[in-house]
Structures are given as C-alpha cells and as structure tokens.
Amino acid sequence: MHKLIALFIVAAVGCADQPSAVYPTNPPVDEAQIALGPGDKIEVVVYNGSHESRAAYAIDAAGDLEIQFIGKVGATGKTTRAIQKDIHDRLADGYLTSPIVSISVLEINSQKLSVFGQVSRSGSVKFTPGMTIIDAIANSGGFTPLARKNMVRVTRMINGKPEIYKIPVEMIAEGTRPNFPVGPGDQVFVPERPW
C-alpha cells in the first residue's frame, strides 16, 4: 500500500506543469488595423477653423454610420483610418473648407474570441483592445477547481495557419511571467488537470 502511495506521489510530481517560457508578449493586432463591424461605437470629432463638432456613432446592422451632414458612410470591414479618410473627403467635397477629422474607438462589439474548457462560462467573449489572457478568463467567470492553470492553450490563426501557444496563466497572475495579449478570433482552451 505504501509503495502504491509513493508511486502516485512520484507520478503526480512528474506531471507537474512545465509551461513554455517563450510566447508572444506583444499585442497580435495593431488597434488602428482592427476592422470595425456592426455594433461598434466610435467618436467622430470634426475641426473646422475654430469650430469643433463632436458626436458618438454606432455602426448599424447594415454596416453603416449615419454621419451628420453627409449621411451614410460604409464602415464594416474598414479601419478607423479608412473611415476617417472617407468622412474627411466627403466633408471637404464642398461642405467644409479644410476640415480635420479625428476618430476614436469607444467600444468594439463585433470582435470576439472563444474561451472554453475548465472555466465557469464557456463561450464567446467580447474582444477589447489591450485585452490579456487574464482578462479573457476573468470575463468567462474564472477557472473551475479542476483547471490546469499553467497549461492554457491558445490557438491563433496566422496567415491562414493555426499557431498554438501554451500559456502559464497562474504564473502570469502571480507576476512571475509576462502577460499574454489575446486577439480577436483567438481560441482559449483551459484543460482539466490530470491529478
């Protein structure tokens, strides 16, 4: 009996997680390059001489913004820079003289990532710029008691091919490893611990 217990302890110690020490620590996407979609909210500021106009807009289900004075502007699949240029060009086309247009993202609702496995609520999580693996798991209700916290697997599509990273989330939370930024479309899987 004692040999069996000793064997179990040795096996459990042998199964201790040895997570990868190397994984990306830079955001996978530049916020300025995120393509916007229905439900996303932006703020548009237009400077015309000494006058400033500021308004918040939401991209509708058809993928358009209804901008004051110029009407519909197609926004789905475009970056903030592309939308900014479109609004600028339409305002400068006889409506305003030399307008300056600035756009900032208030809320991204169209971009998601998946979190499943040993978390309280599996499913889609709304992506927000700057989001980390800690944020994604927290938005899923946190780990279950059976979670294997230092071997969380993230699958990310890069140039049409899946890249898989094993992330030591518990070590990140303890501050002994750098954080891991997540991106839209990432699939986060929290496995069950074997012991």
Which tokens is 77 given?
């699949």
Tens digits of residue pLDDT in 24-49: 888 887 777 888 999 999 999 999 98
Q: Using 50, 70 and 90 to split pLDDT, how confident is the model at 133? A: very high
What's the whole-number mean pLDDT along residues 125-150?
95
- pLDDT of 2 reads 47
Whole-number Cα distances in Å, 99 to 50, 84, 95, 96: 11, 11, 9, 6
Question: Residue 189 and residue 143: Cα distance in Å, rounded?
Answer: 11
- pLDDT of 27 reads 83
Helices marked H in the chain: 2-14, 80-92, 133-138, 169-174
Tens digits of residue pLDDT in 79-110: 999 999 999 999 998 778 889 999 998 888 99
Paired residues of 153 in beta bridges = 166, 189
What is the CATH code of the structural domain delimited by 111-190? 3.10.560.10
- pLDDT of 132 reads 96
Q: Is the pLDDT of residue 178 over 80?
A: yes
Q: Which of 89, 86, 84 is nearest to 103 (CA)?
A: 84
Please list the residue range(s) of the chain that carry CATH number 3.10.560.10. 111-190
Which tokens is 66 given?
């209804």
- pLDDT of 192 reads 95
- pLDDT of 14 reads 41
What is the CATH code of the structural domain delimited by 35-107? 3.30.1950.10
Q: Is the pLDDT of residue 5 over 50?
A: no
Please list the residue range(s) of the chain that carry CATH number 3.30.1950.10. 35-107
